[in-house]
Structures are given as C-alpha cells and as structure tokens.
Structure 1
Amino acid sequence: MDIFLPIAHMDVNLWLILFFGGIVGFLSGLVGVGGGFLITPLLIFVGVPPIVAVATGAAQIAGTSAGGSYAHWRLGNIDFKMGIFLLCGSWIGGGGGVYLAKLLQESGQFGNIVTFLYVGLLGFIGSSMLVESISAIQHAGKPVKKKEGGLGARLAIWLENLPGQMDFPASQLRASVILIFILGAAVGVLTSLMGVGGGFVMVPVMIYMLKMPTKVVVGTSLFQLLFTTAAVAVMQAGVNHAVDPFLALILIFGSAFGTQWGTKIGMRLPGEKLRLILALVVVAVAVKMLIGLLITPHEVYSMTRSAV
C-alpha cells in the first residue's frame, strides 16, 4: 500500500515505513537510545531526500521521547538544573545547524555531508562500543583491576579545573556549566545536520565523563532530547520546509509498538549483551553508508552486468 508524501514529493510503502518505525522503537526500548542515528539512514536508503529525512527524523524523536520523559519525571530521574543548561546550548547549536543545513542544501552538498558525518561518527562510536562490550562479556564475573593514574585520572583533574564550576545536587556532582553548555550546543548541531537527538553521544559522555548516576542520565537525556528535537523540527519546518508530517506520524505510530517489545526483551538481557547489540547495529549502519559512498549505483550495475 503506497502513500504520497507531500513534502518529500514521493510515494512510499506504508508498511515499510511502519516497519522502520517499529525497528527504531524496538531498539529504543531495548537499549535506551532515541534511534535517530538509524531512522535517518533508513529513510535515505528508500529515496527520501536527505534534508527531509533529517528534519522528519527529529520530529519523530520528539514524539517518541515525550512518553519516556514524562515517566522519568514521575520517578524523579531528571536533573532539571543540568537539563536547562543543556537545552540553552542545544537550542543555540540547533539554530545555527538549521541555517548551516540550509546553506549546504542550496549548494547541493547536504546529502554528502550527512553521509560523511554518519560514517565517521557512527564508525568511531560503534567500534569503541563493540570493543568495550566484547571485553565486558569476556570478563563477566571476573574481578576488574583498577589502574592508578592514566588518562581517566588526568581527564578528571582537567574537568575539575575548568571555569564556571557549579553544584548539581540531583546528579550528585560539581561540573563546569561552560562544558555542559558546549555539550548541549554540539548535540543541537548534530540534531540539525543528522536528525539525531544526540543521545547515543550524550549518554556515554554523561556516564563516563561527568560520572552522573545512570538513572539520572537516562531521564535528563530524554528531557533534553524532547525539547531539543522539538525545537529543531519547528526550525527545520520554518526555515527549510523539510518536515513531512505524514511521514513523522507513521514513524511515531510504528515506534510506539516496537518500544513495547524492545522494553520487554531488554529486561531479560544483561547490560553487556545489550551494548553489544547496539554496537553491532551502529557499525552495520556505518558500513552500509560507507559502501554507498564508495560504490555508486552505476558501479553496482556495471559489476552485475560483468558477472553475467
């Protein structure tokens, strides 16, 4: 069953888009990420223009993260003080990113830039997570020897000496508001250029760099994710006219069902195996986009003809 997307100016299969939404929702419930890093490449793969895929992906994340934010607010897992500083940075970064997207779109380079960003960022993060998760599985149940000094200790000292230190009681830490603002701005730019909420970058940073409690990280990340992606979606619609409401609604509907299944299965799997699943998915997306950069459709057709 095909439907016409008025903003993307193309027909798409309704069941395929619902399936894409279900996959993203399943991963969101399984490993706790927004899924924007996956939905944008999937939409581009089926022919949706990159600017529409990025903008609509942001709108879809805003819709699906609303429920999670509300649930964590009820549980008291949101550090609103930190979330406000993150939002201030992400709104400024997102605004700049929207206008940068407009310039890249007018120059005809937006699709290439998005693909390079996905290959580089997902390749680095996915490979790092893959190595860490495999190591965690191999050493499961074994005592871990802590190393004195090293990069982690130097990083901690550097973070403590940054200007603008402020207490965040809900997160039980003291951190530089300048660093938090910069992190928020970086997430805003990523949201504008890649259609991601930045959760797959922000969550590791908040856990490993800022040393925040995991439950507060998840709640605060979802809070920031909701308002950042909503603001970017509105700006993308106003500046670039790139948000397709029909496409966003179908994706949100599909992800609502996928999230339920992912949550149920995720409760039965250990953390290291969940991280391994996410790492494999991230690496697979990066490899697929890299292949798309290196091998054009014309080259694939030529190789097929030669084989015949």
Structure 2
Amino acid sequence: MDFGNIGFVVAGLLVGFIVGMTGVGGGSLMTPILLWFGINPATAVGTDLLYAAITKSGGVLVHKKNDNIDWGITGWLTLGSVPAAGLTLWFLSSLHTAPDAMNSVIKQALGFVLLLTALAIFFKQRLLAFAHRHAGDHYRLSDKSLNTLTVVTGVVLGVMVALTSIGAGALGTVALFILYPFLDTRRLVGTEIAHAVPLTLIAGLGHASMGNMNWSMLGFLLMGSLPGIYMGSHLTGRVPDSILRPCLAVMLIAIGYKLAF
C-alpha cells in the first residue's frame, strides 16, 4: 500500500469518526478532502456518493429493526429526489464532452452547498426551536400541502446530492425537523438515512456510468471509515455538542467560501 492509499484510509477513518460522533459531516467533509488530495471534482463527487450509500446502508438495517423509519415520508421524498437527481445527471452528462466545464459547475455548486450545510449545522437548534414553537398554531399545514412540500424538499435534495454529493444529511434532517416537528427525533434521523441510501446509490451509479468513479479509492476510504464510525459512535456525547457543531460549521464555511469564490 503506497502513501496515497494510506492517506485515503486515514481520511476515511477521520470522516467516519466525526460522522459516528456527531451524525453529520460525511459528504461535506469527504468531498473537500478528496479535492485536497488532487482528485478532480466529478470523480470526488461520484466516489463519495457510493461511499455514502454503502456506509449508510448499515444504518438503515439498524433503524428498520428499531422501527425508526417513516416509510410514507421516505416515499414522498424519494418521489421528488430520484427524478431530480436523474435530470441533474442528464445535465452533467451533456457537459461530459467538456470536463473542465463540468468540474467547474460541480466545484462552484459544492462551495455553495457547503455554506448552506454550515448554516444548517450552526443554526440547527434555533430552527428546531422555531419549528416546535409554531407546530401547533394556525399555520399548521394540511396533509396535502405537507406531502407537496416534502416532494419539493426531495427535488431540492436530489439536485444538490447529484451535483455535489452533499445535502442529504444535515440539510435533509433540518428540513424534515421543520416539516415534521412532532415526529420523534430518532424516526426523523432514520427516515433521512432511509431516503439517503437509494438517492446516493442512484446518483453514484449515474456518476460511475460517466466514468466519475475511482473504485480502488472507494475501497481504501471504506477500509478506514467503518472502524472510524464504530469508534466515533462510542464517543457520542463525550464532547459537548455546543463545541463540536460550531467548529464543524466554521470549517465548512472556510472550505465552502474557498470553493465558491
């Protein structure tokens, strides 16, 4: 194993550890790290999407066993996200003959989505407090409006994930908290993971069909991330959330600003 491959294992270990400890930061950290390694943006996004699909699939099995998934919400999200991801992949494939243009689009979109993710992480508690405060007032949505907004949320997430590999985690969870403030946190998290797996799998396979994939790198990332997630999950709650989230948000803002501007 050469030095570069060891670096991918260490990167997987680091990201897996942070995800296990905080529940966020997978794609928003992994894709920028791969760019830092000199991987071109399209390949970084494609590889990270399949990485996310594989690592989160284990989470689906656990959440399904514990009845933590609302399959109705998952279905409405998927109804919007999968077609949107397909259209986004079609748009990227039209740029495939001009790789510089495709990489430029992906890189700039990545920067803006990282900034949005950082804001979602930083203001998550305030957003949740607002959602709970207004959950029972006269602004409460009808079932039809709620389903429509869920599909629209899926569309937005589908575009972001297919373009950047980011969005299904932090942004998706915050959106679900706002739309469904009375649903238990464990079920919201389980539902977001259940939705993320097919979305990232389809988007990842779409990128792979365009050649935006490095299979050996994916293997080395998983080699590090699986034990990293295991170790990080055992430290959940040891480091105060009030310290972890602002640090993660500031780091993502710095990376996002550099990529977008």
Residue 183 (structure 1) aligns with: 153
Gaps of 5+ in 1: 3-11, 136-145, 167-174, 294-308
1:118 maps onto 2:110 in alignment: yes
Matched residue of 2:17: which SS? Answer: helix
Counterpart of 2:249 in structure 1 is 279
* Contact 1:90/1:228 (<8 A) preserved: yes
Q: Aligned partners of 2:56 and 2:10: how far apart in 1?
A: 18
Question: Could you tell me which residue of structure 2 aligns to residue 255 of structure 1?
Answer: 225
Once the 2 structures are TM-superposed, how far is the Cα of residue 201 of structure 1 from its aligned partner? 0.7
Question: 2:11 aligned to 20, 41, 47, which one?
Answer: 20
Q: Does the CA contact (< 8 Å) of 2:19 and 2:232 recur in 1?
A: yes
Which one has more relative contact order, counting CA pairs under 8 Å at least 6 apart? 2
**Map of 1:170 onto structure 2:** none
1:51 touches 1:105 (CA, 8 Å); kept in 2?
no
2:257 is equivalent to residue 266 of structure 1:
no
Q: Deviations over 1:19-73 (max 9, x none)?
A: 1111221121111126112111111222112111111110000010011111111
The alpha-carbon deviation at position 131 of structure 1 amounts to: 5.8
- Over 3 Å counting, the alpha-carbon distance change for 1:114 and 1:86 in structure 2 is same
Counterparts of 1:183 and 1:46, CA distance in 2:
32
Greater strand percent: which structure?
A: 1
Alignment partner, residue 226 of structure 1:
197
Alignment counterpart, residue 90 of structure 1, candidates 70, 81, 98 = 81
TM-score, normalising length: structure 2? 0.86
Change beyond 3 A, Cα 1:22–1:29: same
1:31 aligns with 2:22: yes
SS at match of 1:179: helix
Alignment size in residue pairs:
257
* 2:70 paired with 1:79: yes
1:60-104 CA distance string (max 9 Å, x none)? 000100111111111111001111121222110111111122223
Q: Greater shift after overlay, 178-187 or 281-290?
A: 281-290
Instruction: For 1:35 and 1:75, locate their aligned partners in 2 and report how far apart those are by CA, in whole Å.
Output: 23
Amino acid aligned to 2:189:
V
Greater alpha carbon shift after TM alignment, 100-109 vs 77-86: 100-109
Q: Is the 8 A contact 2:124 2:174 kept in 1?
A: no
Partner of 1:160: 141
Measure how far apart 1:157 and its partner are: 5.3
Amino acid at match of 1:283: I
Give the partner amino acid of 2:104. N
Counterpart of 1:109 in 2: which secondary structure? helix
2:59 maps to: 68
Matched, 1:194 2:185: no
- Tell whether the 8 Å contact from 1:61 to 1:197 is kept in structure 2 after alignment: no
Q: Would the alpha carbon gap of residues 232 and 176 (structure 1) be closer, same or farther in structure 2, given more than 3 Å must change? A: same
Computed over aligned residues only, the root mean square deviation of the Cα atoms, in angstroms, reads: 2.8
**How far has the Cα of 1:204 moved from its partner?**
0.8
Report % sequence identity: 24
Question: What are structure 2's unaligned runs of at least 5 residues?
Answer: none
Contact map agreement 1:78 1:223 (CA 8 A) in 2: yes
Distance 1:231 1:128 in 2: 25
Give the direction of change, closer, same or farther, for the CA distance of 1:58–1:131 in structure 2 (3 Å limit).
closer
Counting only pairs closer than 5 Å after superposition, residues 234-245 of structure 1 correspond to structure 2 as 234-238=205-209, 240-245=210-215
Distance 1:47 1:254 in 2: 19
TM-score (norm 1): 0.74
Q: 1:27 to 1:282 in 2, by over 3 A?
A: same
- State the 4+ residue runs in structure 1 displaced beyond 6 angstroms: none
Q: What code does the residue aligned with 2:103 have? A: G
